[in-house]
């Protein structure tokens, strides 16, 4: 049975000019996702104290699975919550298909301390890297998950946070799949070991500029790394050899096409994949199109970012 999802309201204080579209997109997807995807078990809400703050999250484990095959940390965009991200990305069904547990943490002030300095948690010195690492440790112990099977994905601010997690805690994360977000230009990235990466970005993103530079988000202005440069940085970090193989994914029309540029000959069996959505906007590919392109840019129908990341994670355990 598909559980009903209550109507939600996001307070105006959660929103900013650059992220209103994302918040509405998330909420608009709630009914569509609940109608089209069945969950094996309901989300379990939980919390624990970290750094003097009560931190909250929800977790989904496939029904009947005692020891999941992996753990995915799925990070929401600014102005959203973990529950919003669960509804948008239908990741419970992806977790069910692969036997993963998936956790949806909630950021302080609906955002993350991803290092750009533009969010409330960044300015307050919140240790989100430490919080998420502690959450990973707790869930590995709770469910008996292999520590080499931990992954992270996220949208927008959640994507910036996923990249930072891989940079700072490569010992924990075997692979990441950021969507529509890279890394703050001044954020160091010197991971302790190679990490497999699947980076997705739209060339017509009106919020996080594809070519990098200054962006204005909910928390203010920040300077970000270009999407291509982020992929190239991970190829360098992972010691990938040769030029990436370029494959065109099926064109879903609407002036959007997708290229998958893959480097598979990388250190320690890692891979770096850059999915470039030509003409694509600030969206989660495969999610329902709720807002006009003027708000977040064109949506992509060439692939499903949730299914693609699930397959990528399953192939890149340590």
Domain presence at residue 5: no
* Structural domain containing residue 54: 12-315
Residue 309 has pLDDT above 50, yes or no: yes
Q: Is residue 3 one of the residues assigned to a domain?
A: no
When divided into structural domains, the chain yields a total of 1
Q: Tens digit of pLDDT for each residue in 187-246?
A: 999 999 999 999 999 999 999 999 999 999 888 899 999 999 999 999 999 999 999 999
Q: Is residue 218 part of a domain?
A: yes
3-state SS record for the chain: CCCCCCCCCCCHHHCCCCCHHHHHHHHHHHHHHHHHCCCCCCCEEEEEEECCEEEEEEEECCCCCCCCCEEEEEECCCCCCHHHHHHHHCHHHHHHHHCEEEEEECCHHHCCCCCCCCCHHHHCCCCHHHHHHHHHHHHHHHHCCCCCCEEEEEECHHHHHHHHHHHHCCCCCCEEEEECCCCECCCCCCCCCCCEEEEEEECCCCCCCCCCEEEEECCEEEEECCHHHHHHHHHHHCCCCCCCEEEECCCCCCCCEEEEEEECCCHHHCCEEEEEEECCCCCCCCCCCCCCHHHHCCCCCCCCHHHHHHHHHHHCCC
pTM: 0.88
What percent of the chain has a predicted confidence (pLDDT) above 90? 76
Has residue 259 been placed in a domain?
yes
pLDDT cut 70: percent of the chain above it: 83
pLDDT tens track for 55-79: 999 999 999 999 999 999 999 999 9
pLDDT tens string 151-160: 999 999 999 9
CATH of the domain at 93: 3.40.50.1820
The answer to whether position 1 is within a domain reads no
In a domain, 146, yes or no: yes
Whether the predicted pLDDT of 301 surpasses 60: yes
Residue 98 lies in a domain: yes
Whether the predicted pLDDT of 13 surpasses 90: no
Does residue 6 form part of some domain?
no
């Amino acid at each position: 049975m598909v559980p009903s999802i209550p109507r939600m309201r996001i307070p105006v204080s959660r929103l900013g000019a650059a992220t209103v579209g994302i918040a509405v997109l998330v909420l608009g997807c709630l009914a569509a996702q609940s109608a089209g995807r069945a969950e094996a078990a309901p989300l379990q809400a939980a919390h624990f104290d970290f750094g003097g703050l009560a931190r909250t999250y929800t977790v989904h484990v496939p029904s009947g699975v005692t020891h999941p095959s992996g753990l995915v940390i799925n990070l929401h965009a600014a102005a959203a919550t973990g529950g919003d991200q669960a509804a948008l990305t239908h990741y419970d069904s992806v977790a069910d298909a692969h036997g993963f547990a998936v956790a949806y943490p909630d950021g302080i002030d609906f955002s993350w301390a991803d290092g750009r300095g533009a969010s409330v948690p960044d300015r307050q010195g919140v240790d989100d890297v430490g919080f998420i690492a502690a959450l990973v440790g707790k869930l590995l112990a709770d469910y008996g998950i292999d520590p080499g099977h931990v992954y992270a994905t996220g949208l927008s601010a959640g994507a910036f946070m996923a990249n930072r997690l891989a940079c700072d805690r490569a010992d924990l994360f075997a692979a990441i799949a950021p969507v529509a977000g890279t890394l703050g230009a001044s954020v160091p990235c010197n991971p302790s070991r190679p990490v497999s990466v699947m980076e997705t970005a739209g060339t017509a993103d009106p919020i996080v500029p594809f070519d990098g530079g200054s962006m204005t988000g909910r928390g203010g202005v920040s300077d970000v790394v270009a999407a291509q440069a982020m992929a190239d940085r991970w190829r360098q970090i992972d010691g990938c050899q040769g030029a990436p193989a370029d494959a065109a994914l099926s064109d879903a029309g609407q002036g959007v096409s997708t290229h998958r540029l893959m480097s598979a000959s990388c250190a320690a069996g890692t891979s770096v994949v850059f999915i470039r959505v030509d003409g694509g906007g600030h969206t989660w590919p495969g999610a329902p199109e709720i807002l006009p392109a003027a708000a977040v840019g064109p949506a992509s129908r060439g692939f499903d970012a949730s299914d693609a990341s699930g397959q990528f994670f399953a192939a890149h355990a340590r």
